[in-house]
């Protein structure tokens, strides 16, 4: 299935969707979004790319095997949980670091929670693409 | 087996070899340093692990656990030193060391654990390590089968034991051994006592290979010889005995305890010692004598008097010393001559004098001849047996007499016959073993002699404290070589006489036993195969019954059972009661429009004959639901719903595009049935939702998250804060499921149909059996 309009639009849309997915991931803690939604949006972008071009193009655009991305996501999520252990907390207890914090100003919040959300993002993203790529290739 | 693998050039097993020798040696010295302290007073140390469940990594150090720890590390040092030479050039030697160290840690944890649950975890570690070690020669179908058999028998027993531990912990109100063992009187009176006892015994009897679960132990001799010497004589199989001894203050001392343990133990001891005479492979002979020792220990722990416990603890040490030495010795003989058959070996003392010396020291102790410690062990067993009252005294004494006579004969078969007379022709020319292999058996043999000459050391530091720990109260323990002329001594002399007479005729006895065995229809090993086959047949049958492979059937069953189960509960609990308001007031016209869209989508999905239309119609339903989420201010849920809905439509469409165009099954009965299920499900869900929403809403959790989200988790989006912080463990589980599902689907799509494992050519029948077992 080759459609000139779809192919052309996809080039713009994929980039947009990927940027938007990361935006959704990062804003998730205070506004609608988060790793799960972000991962779904990112996966949608690549699925669009698969439909417009082919799986092999999508694979080479992605560079890494989606199954590996998914595994990496689970690993990152697990690691974010272990970070709590260094502070003597239970598994997956959020660890926070406020960079440039001043009086009355929280500064830039960095946390193991965000690392966990990145893991969720990658796991969902990679998991869905693993499935879609395999379906497209095998059926 | 010693020579038929490509050798790797390593001195004493290389780095892993040295590590494996150093670790148990250092631990041994450490535990040895604790001996004087522990002989005075037991100690409990530990850290909390899962405090909310009362599970801790506490360590219970008393005479019993310390004696075991010293046996584990001491014999461990001898065995690792031996293996570094025996297997050090094997390509997989580092893997072997890893398994062996894993076993050692598990075994130490098992005997030192002060908490039932951590004891169970270590118990299972030893089971798994044993599986890996028995199956170390994974190329051989026989060792794979033996490994699996040992795993399944001891693993099943372990699960039963876990059930017993949970019941016991609940009854006693604690999983700490110290707390449990101090409540012995309460436990023995408790109505669940018998259940707890039987569950514990199932675990202990499978681990310690009591009849009728004994068959896995002789098969486990497929493991390399150092493993047999370590796991299957001195340590792991004694795990069950350890458990019995450990639980004695809490569960022991009842009629049931006495009779079950003495009967099973006695039968095991005599059955095993008879079977030992029937074998020709010396390693098999030793395996059966190990069974005999385990039976004896069980019997004396069951007998439960102070003397009996003391005899058991003494025999525990005695047996570990001589049995490990004998296993290591036969390994040297096997290594040097290429055979372990009694009929072939002879006159080895000329070629292998030091091996012969080690064999002699160990075997004299095994036969119970003074001045070895084995003699003291046998004397005290007789005294303990005679000291029991009534029928128990007769039973235990007769059993121990029969077993001791046959031990005398076996000692002759394994350590006298192969070494005396003319040097016989063997596959390799016999030669003396290297020092790392001799050090262990000679050292252990020497200890048997030293403890025999100085029994006071043994009594004061090991047997005494261990007896106190098992018996539960402190009493004087006095061991001696010469106790004057008494009944036990007379029985000992009778044992020697009977043993000597039997030894002279042991060839004839063996032939007789082989004939009896061939005529017998009782074969535990074959019975095991039948049990496994039955289990597999059952699994296949129920899979065929439930897993039809038809998606429509699955869906119909799932929704129908949901409707029936929830519907019944709903009606019985008064869900249709009078207090429920079914009026739909306050619904906005826009909401009505969305509801109408959803309903239309649903109806279209059921009546259309095109798959594509059905998928799109379902998409309409899903997006309508997402709209409703937006209307009720749940943007996160709505976005997720929308994205998932789009993805589902895309995925299903991808699949549908490639499926052949099948006519929709439109038999009217079939469709009517599905329509009924769907309608009932929909109506029920609606009714349940209406009823549920009219109960007062518990806002405690909502309030908590609203208040805590910003100050504690620094986030304003409560849904996401719950997902990634408050309940992050759930989310972690979910993403693991997502990835597993994706990988599973990937494997299903990629899996080449018709790919079969390549059959092996050796031992075809057993290969088939073993393969089937492993694939399940």
Task: Please tell me if residue B651 touches chain A, with a CB cutoff of 8 Å.
Answer: yes
| Domain boundary residue, one of B504, B539, B555 | B504
Residue A35: the pLDDT is 87
**Tens digits of per-residue pLDDT, B355-395?**
899 999 999 999 988 889 999 999 899 999 988 878 888 98
Number of independent structural domains in chain B: 3
Q: B735 to chain A: which residues are within 8 Å by CB?
A: 73-74, 77, 119-120, 123-124, 127
Q: B746 to chain A: which residues are within 8 Å by CB?
A: 67, 130-131, 134
How close is the nearest chain B Cα to the Cα of A70, in Å?
A: 6
**Tens digits of per-residue pLDDT, B282-307?**
999 999 999 999 999 999 999 988 88
Residue B8: the pLDDT is 79
Q: Which backbone phi and psi does B49 adopt, to 5 degrees?
A: -120, -65
Residue A54: the pLDDT is 86
B320 and B448 fall within a common domain: yes
B364 and B315 fall within a common domain: yes
Q: Band of the pLDDT at B131, cuts 50, 70, 90? A: very high
What does the CA dihedral B296, B294, B284, B328 come to, rounded to 10 degrees? -110
Residue B148: the pLDDT is 92
B589 and B735 fall within a common domain: no
> Cβ(B307)–Cβ(B384) under 8 Å?
yes
Which structural domain, as residue segments, surrounds residue B593? 547-695
Lowest mean pLDDT among B45-59, B233-247, B506-520: B45-59
Q: Is the pLDDT of residue B17 over 60?
A: yes
Q: Which backbone phi and psi does B621 adopt, to 5 degrees?
A: -60, -50
B583 and B614 fall within a common domain: yes
Helix (H) or strand (E) holding A103: none
- Tokens coding B187: 């436990």
Residue in B closest to A131 by C-alpha: B742
Range list of β-strands (E), B497-643: none
B121 in a domain, yes or no?
no
Q: Is the pLDDT of residue B582 over 60?
A: yes
B247 in a domain, yes or no?
no
Residue segments in chain A with a per-residue pLDDT below the cut of 70: 1-2, 102, 104-106, 138-139
Helix (H) or strand (E) holding A110: strand A108-111
**Tens digits of per-residue pLDDT, B484-535?**
778 888 888 899 999 999 888 888 888 888 888 888 777 888 888 899 999 9
| Domain boundary residue, one of B450, B482, B504 | B504
B402 and B498 fall within a common domain: yes
Q: Is the pLDDT of residue B642 over 70?
A: yes
Residue B320: the pLDDT is 92
> What is the average per-residue pLDDT within B165-187?
90
Task: Please tell me if residue B733 touches chain A, with a CB cutoff of 8 Å.
Answer: no
Task: Please tell me if residue B662 touches chain A, with a CB cutoff of 8 Å.
Answer: no
How close is the nearest chain B Cα to the Cα of A40, in Å?
A: 7
Rounded to a whole number of angstroms, the distance between the first and last alpha carbons of chain B is 30
Q: Is the pLDDT of residue B51 over 70?
A: no
B279 and B422 fall within a common domain: yes
B373 and B435 fall within a common domain: yes
Cβ distance of B723 and A30 shorter than 8 Å: no
Residue B756: the pLDDT is 41
Nearest to A32 among B636, B658, B735 (CB): B636
Give me chain B's average pLDDT, please.
85
ipTM for the predicted complex comes to: 0.89
Nearest to A116 among B635, B650, B724 (CB): B724
Task: Please tell me if residue B47 touches chain A, with a CB cutoff of 8 Å.
Answer: no
Q: B644 to chain A: which residues are within 8 Å by CB?
A: 40
How close is the nearest chain B Cα to the Cα of A87, in Å?
A: 16
B356 in a domain, yes or no?
yes
Residue B1: the pLDDT is 44
B542 in a domain, yes or no?
no
Q: Is the pLDDT of residue B55 over 60?
A: yes
- Tokens coding B200: 């514990």
| Chain A / chain B CB contacts < 8 angstroms | 144
Residue B76: the pLDDT is 93
How close is the nearest chain B Cα to the Cα of A61, in Å?
A: 20
> What is the average per-residue pLDDT within B234-244?
91
Cis peptide before B212 (omega within 30 of 0): yes
Residue B726: the pLDDT is 83
Nearest-angstrom CA–CA distance, B145 and B219: 9
**Tens digits of per-residue pLDDT, B320-339?**
999 999 999 999 998 888 88
In chain B, the percentage of residues whose pLDDT exceeds 70 is 93
Label residues B265-294 b or e (16+ Cβ within 10 Å = b).
Answer: bbbbbbbbbbbbbbbebbbbbbbbbbbbbb
- Say which residue, B761 or B253, is predicted with more confidence: B253
Q: Is the pLDDT of residue B161 over 90?
A: yes
> What is the average per-residue pLDDT within B758-773?
40
B96 in a domain, yes or no?
no
B672 and B764 fall within a common domain: no
> Cβ(B31)–Cβ(B73) under 8 Å?
yes
Residue A132: the pLDDT is 87
Residue B15: the pLDDT is 86
B155, B123, B333: which is closest to B235 by C-alpha? Answer: B123
| Residue among A38, A51, A92 with most chain B CBs within 10 A, to mutate | A92
Cβ distance of B738 and A136 shorter than 8 Å: no
How close is the nearest chain B Cα to the Cα of A38, in Å?
A: 9
Residue B316: the pLDDT is 93
How close is the nearest chain A Cα to the Cα of B629, in Å?
A: 13
> Cβ(B90)–Cβ(B14) under 8 Å?
no
Nearest-angstrom CA–CA distance, B645 and A111: 31
Residue B663: the pLDDT is 58
Question: Roughly what angle, to the nearest 10 degrees, separates helices B506-519 and B487-504?
Answer: 80
Q: Is the pLDDT of residue B774 over 50?
A: no
Rounded to a whole number of angstroms, the distance between the first and last alpha carbons of chain A is 15
How close is the nearest chain B Cα to the Cα of A98, in Å?
A: 11
pTM for this predicted structure: 0.73
**Tens digits of per-residue pLDDT, B139-156?**
888 899 999 999 999 999
**Tens digits of per-residue pLDDT, B427-458?**
888 888 888 889 999 999 999 999 999 988 88
SS3 content of chain A, % helix, strand, coil (to 5): 70, 5, 20
B446 and B404 fall within a common domain: yes
Cβ distance of A33 and B724 shorter than 8 Å: no
| Domain boundary residue, one of B662, B695, B728 | B695
Q: Is the pLDDT of residue B705 over 50?
A: yes
Cβ distance of B738 and A44 shorter than 8 Å: no
B287 in a domain, yes or no?
yes
B469 and B553 fall within a common domain: no
B361 and B397 fall within a common domain: yes
- Per domain, the residue ranges of chain A are 4-138
Cβ distance of A29 and B720 shorter than 8 Å: yes
B222 in a domain, yes or no?
no
Q: Is the pLDDT of residue B208 over 60?
A: yes
B383 and B428 fall within a common domain: yes
Residue B525: the pLDDT is 84
Q: B728 to chain A: which residues are within 8 Å by CB?
A: 81, 92, 94, 113, 116
In a 13 Å sphere around the CA of B598, the CA atoms on its Cβ side amount to 15
């Amino acid at each position: 299935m080759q459609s000139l309009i779809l192919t052309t639009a996809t080039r713009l849309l994929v980039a947009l969707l990927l940027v938007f997915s990361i935006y959704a991931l990062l804003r998730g803690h205070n506004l609608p979004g988060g790793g799960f939604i972000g991962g779904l949006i990112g996966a949608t972008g690549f699925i669009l790319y698969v439909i417009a071009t082919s799986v092999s193009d999508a694979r080479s655009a992605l560079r890494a095997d989606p199954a590996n991305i998914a595994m990496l996501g689970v690993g990152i999520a697990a690691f974010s949980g272990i970070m709590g252990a260094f502070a003597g907390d239970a598994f997956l207890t959020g660890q926070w670091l406020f960079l440039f914090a001043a009086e009355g100003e929280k500064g830039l919040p960095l946390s193991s929670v965000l690392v966990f959300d990145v893991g969720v993002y990658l796991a969902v993203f990679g998991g869905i693409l693993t499935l879609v790529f395999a379906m497209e290739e095998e059926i | 087996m010693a020579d038929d693998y490509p050798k790797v050039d390593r001195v004493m097993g290389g780095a892993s070899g040295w590590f494996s020798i150093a670790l148990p040696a250092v631990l041994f010295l450490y535990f040895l340093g604790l001996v004087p302290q522990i002989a005075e007073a037991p100690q409990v140390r530990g850290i909390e692990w899962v405090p909310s469940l009362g599970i801790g990594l506490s360590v219970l150090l008393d005479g019993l656990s310390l004696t075991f720890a010293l046996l584990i590390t001491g014999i461990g040092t001898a065995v690792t030193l031996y293996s570094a030479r025996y297997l050090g050039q094997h390509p997989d030697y580092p893997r072997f060391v890893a398994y062996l160290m894993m076993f050692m840690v598990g075994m130490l944890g098992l005997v030192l654990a002060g908490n039932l649950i951590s004891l169970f975890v270590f118990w299972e570690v030893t089971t798994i390590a044993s599986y890996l070690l028995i199956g170390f020669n994974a190329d051989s179908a026989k060792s794979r089968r033996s490994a699996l058999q040992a795993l399944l028998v001891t693993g099943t027993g372990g699960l039963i034991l876990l059930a017993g531990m949970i019941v016991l912990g609940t009854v006693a109100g604690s999983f700490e051994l110290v707390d449990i063992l101090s409540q012995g009187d309460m436990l023995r009176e408790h109505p669940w006592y018998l259940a707890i006892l039987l569950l514990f015994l199932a675990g202990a009897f499978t681990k310690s290979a009591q009849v009728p679960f004994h068959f896995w132990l002789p098969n486990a001799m497929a493991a390399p010889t150092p493993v047999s010497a370590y796991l299957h004589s001195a340590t792991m199989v004694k795990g069950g005995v350890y458990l019995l001894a450990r639980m004695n203050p809490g569960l022991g001392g009842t009629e049931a305890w006495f009779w079950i343990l003495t009967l099973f133990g006695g039968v095991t001891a005599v059955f095993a010692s008879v079977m030992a005479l029937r074998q020709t492979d010396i390693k098999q002979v030793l395996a059966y004598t190990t069974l005999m020792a385990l039976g004896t220990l069980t019997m004396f722990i069951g007998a439960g008097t102070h003397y009996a416990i003391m005899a058991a603890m003494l025999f525990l040490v005695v047996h570990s010393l001589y049995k490990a030495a004998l296993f290591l010795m036969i390994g040297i003989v096997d290594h040097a001559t290429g055979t372990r058959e009694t009929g072939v070996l002879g006159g080895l003392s000329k070629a292998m004098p030091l091996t012969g010396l080690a064999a002699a020291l160990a075997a004299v102790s095994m036969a119970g001849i003074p001045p070895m410690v084995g003699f003291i062990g046998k004397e005290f067993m007789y005294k303990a047996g005679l000291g029991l009252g009534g029928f128990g005294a007769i039973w235990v004494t007769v059993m121990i007499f029969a077993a001791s006579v046959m031990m005398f004969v076996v000692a002759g078969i394994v350590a006298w016959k192969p070494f005396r007379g003319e040097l016989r022709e063997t596959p390799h020319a016999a030669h003396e073993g290297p020092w790392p292999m001799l050090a262990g058996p000679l050292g252990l043999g020497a200890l048997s002699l030293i403890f025999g000459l100085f029994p006071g050391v043994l009594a004061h530091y090991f047997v005494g404290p261990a007896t106190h720990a098992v018996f539960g109260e402190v009493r004087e323990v006095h061991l001696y070589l010469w106790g004057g002329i008494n009944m036990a001594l007379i029985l000992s002399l009778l044992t020697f006489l009977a043993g000597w007479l039997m030894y002279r005729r042991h060839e004839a006895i063996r032939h007789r036993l082989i004939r009896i065995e061939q005529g017998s229809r009782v074969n535990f090993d074959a019975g095991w195969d039948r049990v496994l086959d039955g289990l597999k047949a059952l699994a296949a049958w129920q899979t065929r019954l439930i897993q039809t492979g038809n998606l429509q059937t699955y869906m119909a069953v799932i929704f129908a059972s949901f409707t029936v189960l929830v519907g019944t509960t709903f009606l019985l609990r008064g869900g249709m009661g009078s207090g429920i308001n079914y009026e739909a007031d306050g619904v906005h016209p826009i909401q009505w429009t969305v509801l109408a869209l959803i309903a239309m989508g649903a109806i279209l999905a059921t009546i259309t004959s095109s798959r594509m239309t059905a998928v799109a119609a379902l998409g309409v339903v899903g997006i309508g639901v997402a709209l409703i989420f937006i209307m009720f201010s749940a943007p996160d849920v709505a976005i997720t719903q929308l994205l998932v809905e789009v993805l589902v439509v895309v995925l299903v469409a991808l699949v549908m595009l490639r499926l052949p165009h099948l006519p929709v099954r439109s038999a009217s009965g079939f469709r009517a049935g599905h329509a009924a299920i769907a309608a009932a499900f929909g109506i029920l869900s609606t009714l349940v939702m209406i009823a549920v929403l009219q109960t007062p809403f518990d806002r405690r959790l909502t309030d908590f998250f609203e208040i805590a989200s910003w100050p504690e988790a620094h986030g304003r989006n409560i849904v996401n804060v719950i997902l990634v912080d408050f309940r992050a463990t759930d989310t972690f589980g979910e993403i693991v499921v997502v990835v597993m599902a994706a990988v599973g689907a990937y494997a299903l799509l990629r899996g080449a149909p018709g790919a079969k494992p390549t059959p092996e050519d050796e031992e075809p029948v057993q290969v088939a059996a073993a393969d089937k077992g492993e694939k399940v």
